[in-house]
Amino acid sequence: MSADCIFCKIVAGAIPSTQIYADDDVVVFKDINPLAPVHFLIVPRAHIESLASCDASHQALLGKMLLLAPKLAKEQGLAGFRTMINTGRDGGQEVFHIHVHVFGGGTTLPKT
């Protein structure tokens, strides 16, 4: 956990969120500024700065996060969806705690 990380605070329950799933490894919650009718984030409980910070020891966690995306998208009523992982400031990352965006539910999806 990082004391200054907003996602660490959400994972710890110090900041409220609208959770749609949680287990020992991840917390999934609705994005506070959605870019689509359905937009949620899959966030690991462990503080990992970005995808560029990952190594082979993160393989199972990354796989779990990606496999959760279609399951949760379906539960949220999506027939199709987009996933996105922003990496680094130049890659559009704003919160430096790795997370997977999952969004859909309309005919227009965010431009990437």
DSSP the chain: --TT-HHHHHHHTSS---EEEE-SSEEEEE-SS-SSSEEEEEEESS----GGG--GGGHHHHHHHHHHHHHHHHHTT-SS-EEE---SGGGT--SSS--EEEEESSS-----
Contacts of 62 (CB under 8 A, 6+ apart): 54
* Predicted local distance difference test score (pLDDT) of residue 41: 98
Q: Which residues pair with 38 in a beta bridge?
A: 104
Catalytic: which of 39, 47, 97, 99? 99
Length of the chain: 112
Domains of the chain, with CATH numbers?
6-80 (3.30.428.10)
The pLDDT, as a whole number, for residue 2 is 79
pLDDT in tens, 10-67: 999 999 999 999 999 999 999 999 999 999 999 999 999 999 999 999 999 999 999 9
Confidence at 93, pLDDT banded by 50, 70, 90: very high
99 among known catalytic residues: yes
Instruction: Choose among 97, 4, 87: nearest CA to 42.
Output: 97
